[in-house]
A = this chain, B = another copy of it.
C-alpha cells in the first residue's frame, strides 16, 4: 500500500489505538501434543479478544520469507519491508539505543582471530566476554582520521558497532568479513563512485586497528559488515496523522520506533512497567506501540514451556491495557519464533483487531490455525495499519 495514499486520506480524530506486538508470537505444534505454544497456553483474555475482534494471519515480508526483527516491525508499522530496507549496521546501532543521525554510516563489527599469516581462524574471537569487548573498543576509540568522527560502541560478546559521522559519507561499501575462515579479511571497496572517500576511511580504520589489537588474541582483529545509513523513512506521525508513542523495554524496538518518528517513552524493564507507562501517558497520544519480548526469547531458546508461560503472562497483563478502553486494540507480532525451530520462521502470525467497528468472526481462539480461518484472511503486515486507521475512523473515503 502506498503511504502517500494513506497520508492523503488520514483525517483527525479522538480515537485511541494500542498496537501490541508480542515478539516472535507465532509458533508451531509440539510433536508430542500436536498443539502449538498458543494452542497450549491458557490465555482467556487473548481468546476473548479474538472472539470479539476480527482475526487473521500476518505475513511480514513475502510468502516463505522469514523476517528479521527490523523488517518484521517495519511491516507492522505499515512500511513494506522490501521497499524500505534497513541495513544491518543501522539495526545493530538501534539495538544499543545509539542515536544515529541522518548521514551517519553504521557497520556491524566483530572481533575476530587471525593466525600468524593474517588468516581468519575464528570469525567471533572465541566469543570474548562483553567486558573484554568494551576494553578493546576503548583501544579502537584511540584511532583518529581527519575529516570524520569515529564512534565505536561495544554490543555483546565479540560484537561492536562502528559509526562514521561527517559530511559526504556513503554506506555503499563492500564488507571486510569474507564470511569464511582460512582467508584474510577483505579490503573494503566502494560499490558506487560517491562511496570512494568512505571506503578509504574504513580501510584506514581497519589498518590502524590491527596494531592496536596485535597483543589481544583471540580478539586480534576486526571484521566489518552491513554498512548503511539510516534510511529516510516517511514519518509515522505525519503519514497517519497520529500522535504516536512507543513503549519497549528492549533497545532494538525503541530504535525501530524512533526510526519512523514515534516518540519513545522512558519505561522500566518489565512488561508491567510498560503497561504502567502506557497508563501514565494515555492522554498524550493517539497511538501507542507496545512491545513484549519474552515470547521471542523463549522461542529462540527452544523452550516450549517457557514460551507457553510467556504467553500466559502476557495474557494476564491484558486487562490492564483493556481497562484504558482503547477504541482499537490490536495484538499481533513481528514474526513467528517456534520453539521447535529455535529461530524466527516464515509462518504467518496471528492477529486480532478489536474495536467497535471490527466484525467479530467465528474465531474463538487466539492461535495460528484458529486465526487462519478469520475474516481478515492472511494479509501482508503492512496492510494492517490502514485497517487499524479505518477501524479508528481515521481514514476518509477514496474518491467521491
Which positions in A face B, CB cutoff 8 Å? 1-2, 5, 9, 28-29, 34, 61-72, 81-82, 85-86, 88, 91-92, 226, 338, 340-341, 343-347, 357, 359-362, 368-369, 372-373, 375, 377-379, 383, 385-391, 395-400
Contact = CB atoms under 8 A, between A and B. Distances in A.
A24 to B, nearest CB: 12
Report copies per complex.
Answer: 2
B397 A344 contact: yes
Contact of A65 (B362, B378, B398): B398
Contacts of A362: 369, 373
A365 B286 CA distance: 38
6 contacts: A64-B390, A65-B398, A66-B390, A81-B399, A91-B399, A346-B390
Contacts of A9: 65
A388 B65 CA distance: 11
A346 B5 CA distance: 15
A85 B399 contact: yes
A62 B386 contact: yes
Nearest to A348: B375
Query: Most chain-B CB neighbours within 10 Å: which of A5, A346, A362, A396?
Result: A346
Query: Most chain-B CB neighbours within 10 Å: which of A68, A91, A357, A359?
Result: A359
Contacts of A86: 399
Contacts of A28: 357, 359
Contacts of A67: 397-399
A341 B361 contact: no
Contacts of A386: 62-65
